[in-house]
Structures are given as C-alpha cells and as structure tokens.
C-alpha cells in the first residue's frame, strides 16, 4: 500500500536562509504517514480508529528544498505488528521550471491505531502481505529495536531546562531556549489531540533558535535523531518546548529538545513529558558553505555527561556513514 501528497513551497514556508523550513518538511512527512496508516488500519470491518504517531526514526536532510519547488511526499507501509504500523516516507523536490527532481529526505515512522470511541484504547492492526519472507523478518527486527529504545528513552530525559542568569557565551545556558504554546483546535485532530507533525515543527523551531544563538550564523537542520512520543497532548494543554545544546563537533551541533505538557484545564493530571528528540544542525555562510562551529563549553557534571553521550552518538553515526572498514592485507 502506497500514498503520495504534493504541494508547492510558498514564501511562508521559508527559514531565514531562504530554504524551506525543516519543520515544514517534518510536518508533511507526518501527514503522509498518518494518512496511509489510518487508511490501512480501517481497511477491514471492525471498530474505526485513527493512527497516532508514536515514533520517528532518524531522519536525514539530504538536500535543501527551495521556495517555488514542489514537494512530493510518498509513503509506503513496510511492516505491521499486532498494534503498530511502520511507514517509510521519501520526499522529492521538483523544480517545475526545469523538471529537475532530487531526493531531499527519507524517514521511517511508527503509528498505533487508537479507537474513535475511546482514544486510550489501542486496536489491532490488519496484517500486510509481504512479497518475501525476509521482509517480515527484517521488519520484526526493526520493530523490536525501536520498542527497546522507546522504553530506554521514556524516562531518560526526566529533567527540565532551567534558565541561568548572565550565562557566558558558548555555554549550554547561553543558547538554551524555550517556547510556550497553548494547544488550540487548529493544532489538533478531529478528536482533540495534537498532530505529531505540529509538535515536530515546534521542536525544530526551538532547536533552530538554540543553534542560531550558539553560532550567530545561518543554520539548517542536518538530521533528526529518533523522536519519541511518550504521551498524547490534548487540546487546551499548555506545552513547553525546551532546547539545549548537548554536543558540538567541528561542523555540527547536537540539540536535545524536550516537550512537556501542562493540562491547565484538568486539575486531575500533572505536567508530563510528552516527547523528546535530538536534532543536528550545521552552520552556513551567506553563500551556503559549511562553517566551523564554536565549541560548546560544558560546565556542570550533567552537561559534561550529556556532551560525552552526544559525542558517542556522533561517532557512531559517522562510522555508519563511512561504512565498514576495509580489511587490512
């Protein structure tokens, strides 16, 4: 099963560098995934449901998209477990003047079907038919891996970002930023819960502010590590999206983004962690060339620990990009 959505990129989709905002692309990716997974989960007779985003795997921004180009977002279901759907999404940009097309993004998303009668009830997913047995086995491995990581990350980011008076440049406190947003009807599905794409766009905006404050140049999203959605966000909640820099290499910055929801109209529920992720940004000159990044100065023991963890993720991903080493004769 496959699906595609397309739309032209307008000036209000641009970031300050003039390219399409990374958060806009993330939102389109989520919309395509939600359409195909909801359609699939309602393909058989039974209780009707809506597919809710549970996790986004690492997403790389392979090439910038420009204003005036057409974004083609194609989605395909690649695996189903008893209660979840894996969707793989590709984003192509098309210059409609020249006909040139290029791949800009690839992403993998996981959805769970929630009953329309009771949104806290997770329904069973209709199975897909695989053309090869290996496809099912490979999908099961991906499912087990993401399930384990979700459990590990749910409580890893329990702390909150606190402001520090008069911070020094290049420190974590100097660039950390927060955005407070009241969840309104336009942010939500028909059932009163925030679209995953809306949350991802807000997270990308905060990460971009942190990156710009740190290096004071044009910045662009290079990649997003796995985004985990720990709990649903209801209409009427006040959400706080906080970002802090965790690691810098010579030419990239890793930013941790946390989303906390405060159900101000419901006294029975306390503030809770709704989502978390790591974003990677790069610094660009006015000509679009990569620039060196000012090195982060971790001060506290927690900041030093997060820096080393970020360095480990950076080196692991660098090794994965370079591929296995050639055997020595």
Residues labelled as active-site residues: 15, 204
Listed residue (191, 199, 184, 203) closest to 265, CA to CA = 184
The residue behind tokens 């397309």 is 6
Q: What is the DSSP string of 135-148?
A: HHHHHHHHHHHHHH
CB 215: neighbour CB atoms within 10 A? 22
d(CA 275, CA 156): 11
Q: Token pair for residue 264? A: 């101000």
Contact 287, 217 (CB under 8 A): no
44 phi and psi angles, rounded to 5 deg: -120, 160
User: Rounded distance, CA 270 to CA 261, Å?
Assistant: 9
Give the distance, in angstroms, between the CA of residue 7 and the centroid of all CA atoms in the same chain.
21
* Two structure tokens written together for 310: 């970020």
Would you state the structure tokens that stand for residue 85, as one six-digit string? Answer: 């759907």
27 secondary structure, DSSP code = H
Q: What is the dihedral of CA 23, 25, 60, 299, to 10 degrees?
A: 0
Is the Cβ–Cβ distance between 3 and 36 less than 8 Å?
yes
Query: In the block, which residue shows the tokens 């894996």?
Result: 86
């Amino acid at each position: 099963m496959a699906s595609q959505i397309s739309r032209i990129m307008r000036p209000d989709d641009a970031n300050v560098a003039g390219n399409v905002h990374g958060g806009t692309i993330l939102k389109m990716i989520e919309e395509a995934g939600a359409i195909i997974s909801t359609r699939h989960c309602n393909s058989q007779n039974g209780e009707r449901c809506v597919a809710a985003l549970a996790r986004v795997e690492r997403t790389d921004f392979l090439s910038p998209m420009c204003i005036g180009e057409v974004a083609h977002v194609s989605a395909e279901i690649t695996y189903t477990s008893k209660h979840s759907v894996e969707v793989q999404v590709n984003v192509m940009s098309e210059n409609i003047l020249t006909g040139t097309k290029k791949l800009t993004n690839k992403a993998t998303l996981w959805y769970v079907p929630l009953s329309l009668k009771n949104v806290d009830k997770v329904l069973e997913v209709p199975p897909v038919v695989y053309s090869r047995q290996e496809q099912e086995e490979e999908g099961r491995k991906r499912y087990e891996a993401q399930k384990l990581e979700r459990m590990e990350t749910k409580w890893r980011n329990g702390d909150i970002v606190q402001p520090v008076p008069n911070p020094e440049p290049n420190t974590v406190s100097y660039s950390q930023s927060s955005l407070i947003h009241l969840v309104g009807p336009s942010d939500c599905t028909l059932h009163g819960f925030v679209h995953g794409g809306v949350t991802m766009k807000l997270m990308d905006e905060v990460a971009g502010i942190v990156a710009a404050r740190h290096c004071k140049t044009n910045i662009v999203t290079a990649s997003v590590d796995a985004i985990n959605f720990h709990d649903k966000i209801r209409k009427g909640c006040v959400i706080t999206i906080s970002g802090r820099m965790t690691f810098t290499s010579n030419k990239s910055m890793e930013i941790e983004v946390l989303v906390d929801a405060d159900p101000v109209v419901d006294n029975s529920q306390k503030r809770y962690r709704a989502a978390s992720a790591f974003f990677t940004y790069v610094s660009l000159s006015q000509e679009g060339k990569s620039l060196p990044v000012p090195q982060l100065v971790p001060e506290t023991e927690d900041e030093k620990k997060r820096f080393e963890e970020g360095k480990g993720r950076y080196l692991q991903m660098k090794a994965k990009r370079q591929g296995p080493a050639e055997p020595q004769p």
